[in-house]
Amino acid sequence: MKANVSTNLANGLTLSEGIIELANARGAVDQLQDLLQVGKRGFLLSERRRSTTEIRMVKQAKPESILSMIDTYDQRRRELDAMIQEANHTTEIKWPPST
């Protein structure tokens, strides 16, 4: 944990912050893909309680704009993942830890 807090990524975030941002980007991609019903289907999506005819859908965004957002978050995810991997492979961890 000390290494994660004290190691900085190329974009200035600490490794801990980068890991959190990576999780956020992954979550955003998953949620946006769910809007378009692409990608993996989870347990809740496969066993819906209501049929789609019971729920009125109001489209609020064009699929193209959602796809653009997916691309943006996915690019962010790839960049963060690369920076985190680089930090993981180049950071020296003192062992045994000093107290």
Q: How do residues 50-60 score in pLDDT, each as one tens digit?
A: 555 666 666 67
- 17 found inside a domain: yes
For the cut 60, the answer to whether the pLDDT of residue 76 exceeds it is yes
| Cβ-based neighbours of 15, under 8 Å, separated by 6 or more | 3, 4, 5, 7, 8, 9, 84, 87, 88, 91
Assess if residue 10 is contained within a domain: yes
Total of domains in the chain: 1
Q: Per-residue pLDDT averaged across 26-32, rounded? A: 94
- 39 located within any domain: yes
Residue 55 in domain: yes
Instruction: Please report where in the chains the tokens 């859908």 appear, as a residue.
Output: 57
pTM for the predicted model, two decimal places: 0.72
Q: Which residue has the higher pLDDT, 19 or 50?
A: 19
Segments forming the whole domain that contains residue 72:
2-90
Domain membership flag for residue 83: yes
In a domain, 95, yes or no: no
- Supply the pLDDT for residue 98: 74
Alpha-carbon distance 10 to 60, whole Å?
37
* Residue 97 counted as domain residue: no
Report yes or no on 15 lying in a domain.
Answer: yes
